[in-house]
Amino acid sequence: MRVLVLGMGMVIGGALLAGSAAPRGNAARGGDLYRTKCGACHSLDNNRVGPAHRGVVGRRSGTAPGFRYSRALSSSNIVWTPANLDRWLTAPTLMVPGTAMGFRLASPQDRADVIAYLQQNGSAR
């Protein structure tokens, strides 16, 4: 009974949240997405076309050591919270005009999953 009540609560809570908050992320699925969607330009530990990502959640924009950012992103002064990452991945050039990243991830669930994966890879190796 307890479980049932809890379950109902989650359904109602989920319905209330739908449309306002990002969906819950699945880090395992996010890892696969990261490799297939971001992997041409990024990796966790190396600067490539784009900057290295380990520890990016909570980091200030434009601060991966040794990466040459666009002027637009290095002066943007954003903290990469999950909400800001969601905005970024929706349309980076609309969030930071003049950035060198144009890749958009259209699906809210995909974005949530990738952000969960980045969050999981927070600490230095």
Partner 1 sequence: MIEIPHSSRRSVLTGGVTTLSAAGLVALLGGSLPAEARQSNRPGQDVQLLNAALALEHEGIAAYQIAAESGLLSADILKVGIAFQSHHKTHRDDLATAIRRLGGQAAASKSTAEYAAALGVSALKTQNDVLKLALGLERGAANAYLGLIPSLEATEFHLLSARIAGDEAFHAAILGNVLNEPIPQTAPIFG
Residues at the site binding ligand HEC, with contacts judged by CB under 6 A: 37-38, 40-42, 49-51, 56, 61-62, 64, 69-70, 72-73, 80, 85, 88-89, 99-101, 103, 105, 114
Q: Which is nearer to partner 1, 8 or 40 (CB)?
A: 40
Q: Which residue has the tokens 């949240």?
A: 17
CA nearest neighbour of 80 among 88, 72, 69, 91:
88
How far, in Å, are 19, 22, 23, 115 from residue 10 at the CA level?
A: 15, 15, 13, 22
Q: How many CB atoms lie within 10 A of CB 118?
A: 25
Q: Which of residues 18-77 bind partner 1 (CB under 8 A)?
A: 35-41, 43, 46-50, 70, 72
- Pick what 64 binds: ligand HEC, partner 1, none; C-beta below 5 to 8 Å, kind-dependent: ligand HEC
- Pick what 18 binds: ligand HEC, partner 1, none; C-beta below 5 to 8 Å, kind-dependent: none
